Amino acid sequence: MGVMVSTVKHYYDLAMTAIIRPPRQRVDESAFLGARHFDVTNEKGETIRCTWWRPDVPTTRCLVFLHGNSSSRGAVSQILAHAVISGVSVLAFDFSGSGESEGDYVSLGYFETDDLRAVIRHMRSFTEVTEIALWGHSMGAVVALMYAHEDTNIVAAICDSPFYNLKRLASDISGVHRCLLWPCVEVIRAEVRRRARFDILAVNPALIVGDTHVPIWFIHGDQDELIPPEHSIDLHRKYAGDKHITIFPGDHNSPRPTEIIRRSMDFIVRRFNHTTQGRLDDIQRGDRRDVGGIRTLQTTNPLKRPWDQSADVGAGPRKRLAIQHEETKMPQRDLARLETKTTRDHADEPLRATARRRVDREETTTNRETVVIAQTRENF
């Protein structure tokens, strides 16, 4: 009995550390050559530390990078050069509770969405930026999904390894069935409410992706044991807008293949070009209602998140979600398989055959959807 209690306490402490107070990764700003540093204040009055890189040629386009849990804006280094070479400025910031920003806790996307809102409001109000895209990893990918639901002016988003919801993630990590895990989750949930003032089950991208329409590309490593790729696959299936998904060889934190980063940036640039052309068409038609309007944050309700409802959570000042629980059957997968799924008119875009990869393809078309399954013989 004593061993069981000790084991439960061990996993409880581990969960609390991972959820609200993982190790804080410090940032050496001296390594950020040619960048501009500034601070933004979030809704809780905490200082958010930001770094902005701009290409040599002036641009109104900005890619905002969103780091993962137990990480910092320094993780932007993997995509920085690709973005700047593409003529896009890059903004990275430390979420509250992470890096050099103020805050005692992280919230796996709950309050981090407020941080992103404050940063984007600053960029639209005080800089020349008028077009914004998002690139998020892990927790940052969840933030990108939740923010894209409320801000229809976001041009596009890359979501690298998001989780479906926290209940399913906890089950995958522990190996315990969700029904048996629920009592433990409830204990952790109550303690997180007490300490960090948020409901962990309110961080649930699965509830809002069916009503989100920003063009998006999901990418996920096929060997990811922290957040299995089925999370991205199921989010992609429920997503309402233009969507793509690529499952590539790699794990949760492994360096992303250069080809994946290059093609993701091509997707971002195409969406920027599409948005610019649309605004030019408006001008030619004499319809000026949207000209410059992208500087205005358009949300369903800027003071209340779309997943918030009437239930009070803990002693926090805001109304929180009356949690809805979804049970999703996880699909079978082959870890040696590279699956790319595109919809609508973009079935020929992701992961085209190159000289560096030979694949056998089987294509099945149903209505407006094309599924391409490629057996990988060589890694990128």
User: Counting every residue, how long is the chain?
Assistant: 380
Mean pLDDT by 10 residues, the chain (380 residues): 58 73 90 94 97 94 96 96 95 97 95 98 94 98 98 97 90 67 81 91 95 98 95 98 97 96 97 80 52 34 38 35 33 39 40 33 31 31
Specify the pLDDT at position 169. Answer: 85
Which domains occur in the chain, in start order?
34-339 (3.40.50.1820)
Specify the pLDDT at position 322. Answer: 29
Specify the pLDDT at position 309. Answer: 37
Contacts (Cβ under 8 Å, ≥6 apart) of 304: 318, 319
Determine contact, residues 127/102, Cβ cutoff 8 Å: no
The CA-CA-CA angle for residues 355, 360, 366, to 5°, reads 120
- Cα–Cα distance list, 202 to 52, 305, 307 (Å): 31, 11, 7
- Token pair listed for 250: 């790699």
Specify the pLDDT at position 172. Answer: 76
Contacts (Cβ under 8 Å, ≥6 apart) of 74: 25, 27, 28, 31, 67, 92, 99
Amino acid at position 75, single letter: A
Specify the pLDDT at position 168. Answer: 87
Phi, psi of 62 (to 5 degrees): -140, 135
327-350 CB burial, b ≥16 within 10 A, e <16: eeeeeeeeeeebbbbbbeebbeeb
Specify the pLDDT at position 360. Answer: 34
Dihedral of CA 244/302/88/107: which sign?
negative
N- to C-terminal Cα separation, the chain: 50
Determine contact, residues 295/151, Cβ cutoff 8 Å: no
Specify the pLDDT at position 1. Answer: 53
Specify the pLDDT at position 359. Answer: 29
